[in-house]
């Protein structure tokens, strides 16, 4: 009996010891283990298909793994469900811009996202550049660039950019739930 009690005590978790947890998909992505992160996010979406942020992560991971063809439909599915989901809109806009496709569509996607975050300087910068891609003399495009510069010191001087950079490819999705997002 004493041996069983001793063994139980030895095997019991020490409440003072740090708890070992399975790695979160975000941590795996941060560490560069994209394949494991992708599997983790797929499991998360399987458990909760409404988790839009996990779906954006899946799209981003596909991009990192050299598969923008798989990323685009993921981003589009999120934008269709939640047109104001800024992460999905920014990533889809970036993908379309890199492929030199759909300048008018990029403007529409970003305009819808702006309704959610009208004072987001990165979004305004991307939107200004997208308008200028459609019409180089767009007063609205210049106005958005001015607003972005006024809202963010880091956006200062961006008015002179020739190409939009809505969200660099290596910009990870936000882990904070966006309006209309899951998680």
Question: What pLDDT, in 10s, does the model give residues 20-70?
Answer: 346 799 999 999 999 999 999 999 999 999 999 999 999 999 999 999 999
Rounded Cα distance, 14 and 177, in Å = 34
Q: Are residues 45 and 76 in the same domain?
A: yes
Q: Give the domain range for residue 49.
A: 26-82
Task: State the total domains in the chain.
Answer: 2
Task: Give the number of other CB atoms < 10 A from CB of residue 48.
Answer: 12
Based on the domain organization, do 122 and 75 belong to the same domain?
Answer: no
CA-derived radius of gyration, the chain: 21
- For position 64, which CATH number holds? 1.25.40
Look at residue 31 and give its three-state secondary structure: coil
In this structure, the number of other CB atoms found within 10 A of the CB of residue 156 comes to 11
The answer to whether residues 169 and 179 touch, using CB atoms and an 8 Å cutoff, is no
pTM comes to 0.70
Backbone angles phi and psi of 117, in degrees to 5: -130, 75
Length of the chain: 183
């Amino acid at each position: 009996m004493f041996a069983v009690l001793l063994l139980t005590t030895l095997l019991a978790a020490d409440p003072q010891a740090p708890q070992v947890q399975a790695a979160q998909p975000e941590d795996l992505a941060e560490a560069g283990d994209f394949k494991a992160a992708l599997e983790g996010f797929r499991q998360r979406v399987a458990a909760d298909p409404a988790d839009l942020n996990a779906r954006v992560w899946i799209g981003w991971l596909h991009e990192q793994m050299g598969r923008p063809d798989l990323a685009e439909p993921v981003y589009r599915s999120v934008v269709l469900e939640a047109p104001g989901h800024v992460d999905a809109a920014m990533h889809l806009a970036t993908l379309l811009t890199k492929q030199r496709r759909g300048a008018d569509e990029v403007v529409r996607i970003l305009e819808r996202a702006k309704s959610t975050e009208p004072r987001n300087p990165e979004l305004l910068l991307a939107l200004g550049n997208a308008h200028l891609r459609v019409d180089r003399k767009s007063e609205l495009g210049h106005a958005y660039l001015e607003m972005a510069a006024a809202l963010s010191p880091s956006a200062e001087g961006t008015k002179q950019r020739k190409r939009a950079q809505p969200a660099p490819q290596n910009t990870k999705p936000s882990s904070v739930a966006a309006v209309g997002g899951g998680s």
